[in-house]
Amino acid sequence: MLRALGVIELAVAESGMTEPIFLHQSQVKSAVAQYGAEKSEIQQAVMMIFNLPELPKPDDAADGLAIAYTAQTGARANVR
């Protein structure tokens, strides 16, 4: 999850966006599953949220979808 967040933050910064949204991995996990969720739980949650017929492949694709979902919905959670 951290690599995906880092890549997104870099792309946002390079695009010149004036108000980038920075998310912590705990915010993403809380938005789609639960705080401290394991990768398999994130994959299952993403599959249900997006009504996918199977788990996203490769495994990191679920992280990207979870991050996009969290940013799009404006979901926020307390960072512990």
What's the CA gap between 69 and 28, in Å, rounded?
A: 8
Q: How many domains does the chain have?
A: 1
- Other residues' Cβ atoms within 10 Å of the Cβ of residue 2: 9
Give, in order, the Cα–Cα distances in Å from 44 to each of 14, 26, 36, 56.
32, 17, 14, 9
For residue 36, tell me if it sits in a domain: yes
Q: Would you state the pLDDT for residue 49? A: 94
Return the percentage of the chain with pLDDT > 70, whole number: 79
Model confidence pLDDT, tens digit, residues 10-29: 777 787 776 666 778 888 88
8 A C-beta contact, residue 32 and residue 51: no
The more confident residue out of 12 and 69 is 69
First vs last Cα of the chain: how many Å apart?
Answer: 16
pTM: 0.70
For residue 35, tell me if it sits in a domain: yes
| Lookup: tokens for 21 | 């949204």
For residue 60, tell me if it sits in a domain: yes
For residue 78, tell me if it sits in a domain: no
Highest mean pLDDT among 26-30, 48-52, 54-58, 73-77: 48-52
Domain containing 29 equals: 2-15+22-73
